[in-house]
Amino acid sequence: MRKSNIFLLGILIQGFLLLLLFVHATYTEKAAGPRLEEKREMVKRLELTDLCLFTEASYTRHLSQADLHTPFQSYPLSLEHFPSGSILQPPAMLKRTNGKLD
Amino acid sequence: MESWIERQRNILDFTLSSLLRRKGKNAALLSVYTLVVFMLASVVFFVHSIKKEASIILHDAPEMVVQRMVAGRHDPIPIRYMEKIKEIRGVSSVRGRLWGYYYDSVVGANYTLVVTENSQLAAGKIAIGVGISRTRLAFKGDTLEFRAYDGSIIHLEINNIISSASELVSSDLVLISEEDFRRLFGGSREHATDITLKVKNSKEIPTVALKIAELFPDARVILRDEILRTYDAVFNWRGGMMIVILAGALLAFIIFAWDKASGLSLEERREIGILKAIGWETSDVILMKFWEGLAVSLSSFLSGILLAYVHVFFTSSALFEPALKGWGVLYPDFKLVPFIDFSQIATLFFLTVVPYTVATIIPSWRAATIDPDSVMRA
């Protein structure tokens, strides 16, 4: 078999698998409807505000409810030290810069 | 047309043979390239899916949450605030929420305790999330011990385990009755943790928020839009680890492109010289290099994408888990819904395949236009 045929066959198979991913994604998305609805209903019923992704600290557990300076509350020079702090972005407000003072 | 196809296939045959002559080098290149695409695609798939899922799930989060701030910290809010908030025109309902954290020293985990309004839980009973059940090996009918604010021990019986389907929002939850909550944390019955409210007309939400802020200068108002925006911003590409991964991938591509654009090896230049000497045209050589770039980048791209999909949606992003888990003991066991679309694949394609393919052609064109004799003698 010619090398070009083997290569093109390989690319075709990979392309077909890529297409299958889209089919799988569409199917899974549809099948997940009731599961998403259940979570949504729970959020509504329990009045939850956040995803349970980072449970290591209160302000990473409830990102949207945390004060804007919680990492510094332990003491003024307390730097953010929780690992998930390296994933999260600081709130936009903290990054706002004012005019130069000098 | 047929001869054109045959010509392409012949050149492709030759290109593949040429690649196979440098097996080791090209296999290493292919693996690193695949790994870079895999990392990039994993980040893109994970971030997009979690953002989309968060926006769907949190769509029905409270419209507005009012917290009280004392000395810069979130403090219990007096229930009497609710009376004044109810009087604001446009507010349809107001409720005081009771929730808090409990640190379980047995397993070193933080639980989120929530009192529900319509809870069917009687005093002494709790419902727990699957994460707690898994960590404490506690099941329906078992009893968990909690140490109250005054040092007394409270035994609460597990009435129910919250469905594992909702683990992404409930893994660390303990649903508890108001009576037990107050026994556990003490505090005045005149206070709630915070206040949630509903507004009749969603267009009036900013106005109501402004009125609350004016009425209670010590209050902080959090709108649902802000909650949703939080999760949009959390996994923003500029955020923390995302930029580390993206910078790493970008650096790898710069090295690839530099390696290619800085010129060909002596062996490759000699090969081009021989090809030109036996009658290949400059365009043939460029075509060969185009196929070479495409063969390497396209196979790496497709393999990287396929592996990334399996990683994110079949293994629950196993490689990202240690980073996401951090020091948290309770981590939800969740499978993301694959919200992928063509634009993500197209973005990845233009970020990875196109630059590499172009980078392989430029030095080849330079080598192909010089005299074959001087190339072979070099």
Three-class SS state of B196: strand
Same domain for B225 and B96, yes or no, is: yes
Same domain for B78 and B24, yes or no, is: no
In a domain, A53, yes or no: yes
Same domain for B80 and B201, yes or no, is: yes
Looking at residue A21, its pLDDT comes to: 93
Domain of B83, CATH number, reads 2.40.40.20
Looking at residue B325, its pLDDT comes to: 74
* B257: pLDDT strictly greater than 70: no
Same domain for B171 and B71, yes or no, is: yes
Question: Could you read off the pLDDT of B114-139 as tens digits, one per residue?
Answer: 998 765 788 888 999 999 999 899 89
Q: What domain range includes position B306?
A: 2-58+235-377
Interface test with A, best of B313, B319, B337, B349 (most A CBs within 10 A): B337
Interface test with B, best of A87, A93, A94, A95 (most B CBs within 10 A): A87
d(CA A42, CA A48): 8
Same domain for B317 and B227, yes or no, is: no
Cross-chain Cβ contact A64/B230 below 8 Å:
yes
Closest partner residue to A86 (CB to CB) among B241, B303, B339 is B241
* Closest A-chain CA to B229: A64
Same domain for B240 and B330, yes or no, is: yes
Burial class of B3 by CB neighbour count within 10 A (0 to 12, 13 to 18, 19+): exposed
Average pLDDT of chain A is 79
Average pLDDT of chain B is 85
In a domain, A101, yes or no: no
Closest partner residue to B73 (CB to CB) among A62, A73, A83 is A73
Distance between B81 CA and the closest CA of chain A, angstroms: 19
Q: What domain range includes position A79?
A: 33-89
Closest partner residue to B240 (CB to CB) among A44, A65, A88 is A88
Question: Could you read off the pLDDT of B274-322 as tens digits, one per residue?
Answer: 888 888 888 888 888 888 888 888 999 999 999 999 999 999 888 888 7
Same domain for B203 and B108, yes or no, is: yes
**Residues of chain B positioned with their CB less than 8 A from the CB of A35:** 165-166, 337
**Residues of chain B positioned with their CB less than 8 A from the CB of A49:** 58, 61-62, 65, 222, 227
* Closest B-chain CA to A16: B302
Q: Last residue of a domain, which of B233, B251, B271?
A: B233
Q: Last residue of a domain, which of B175, B202, B233?
A: B233
Task: Give the torsion through C-alpha atoms of B66, B188, B170, B245, to 10 deg.
Answer: 60
User: Among B168-182, B227-241, B261-275, B354-368, where is mean pLDDT lowest?
Assistant: B227-241
Same domain for B296 and B323, yes or no, is: yes
Q: Last residue of a domain, which of B199, B217, B233?
A: B233
Distance between B296 CA and the closest CA of chain A, angstroms: 11
**Residues of chain A positioned with their CB less than 8 A from the CB of B131:** 52, 55
In a domain, A6, yes or no: no
Strands B125-128 and B173-176, bridge-based pairing = antiparallel
In a domain, A12, yes or no: no
Q: Which backbone phi and psi does B119 adopt, to 5 degrees?
A: -65, 140
Same domain for B240 and B371, yes or no, is: yes
d(CA B125, CA B135): 19
User: What does the block give as tokens for B218?
Assistant: 């010590």
Distance between A99 CA and the closest CA of chain B, angstroms: 23
Closest partner residue to A89 (CB to CB) among B16, B238, B338 is B238
Closest partner residue to A42 (CB to CB) among B169, B227, B302 is B169
Side-chain-facing half-sphere of B303: CA atoms under 13 Å:
14
ipTM value, please give it. 0.80
In a domain, A44, yes or no: yes
Same domain for B262 and B320, yes or no, is: yes
Strands B125-128 and B191-192, bridge-based pairing = unpaired
Looking at residue B364, its pLDDT comes to: 74
Looking at residue A81, its pLDDT comes to: 65
Stretch B238-263: mean pLDDT, rounded? Answer: 70
Helices (H) and strands (E) counted in chain B, each on its own, are 14, 12
Looking at residue A79, its pLDDT comes to: 64
Query: How many structural domains compose chain B?
Result: 2
Burial class of B9 by CB neighbour count within 10 A (0 to 12, 13 to 18, 19+): middle
In a domain, A77, yes or no: yes
Query: How many structural domains compose chain A?
Result: 1
* B159: pLDDT strictly greater than 80: yes
Same domain for B205 and B252, yes or no, is: no
The b/e string for B271-289 (b: 16+ C-beta within 10 A; e otherwise) is bbbebbeeebeeebbbbbb
* A92: pLDDT strictly greater than 80: no
* Closest A-chain CA to B12: A4
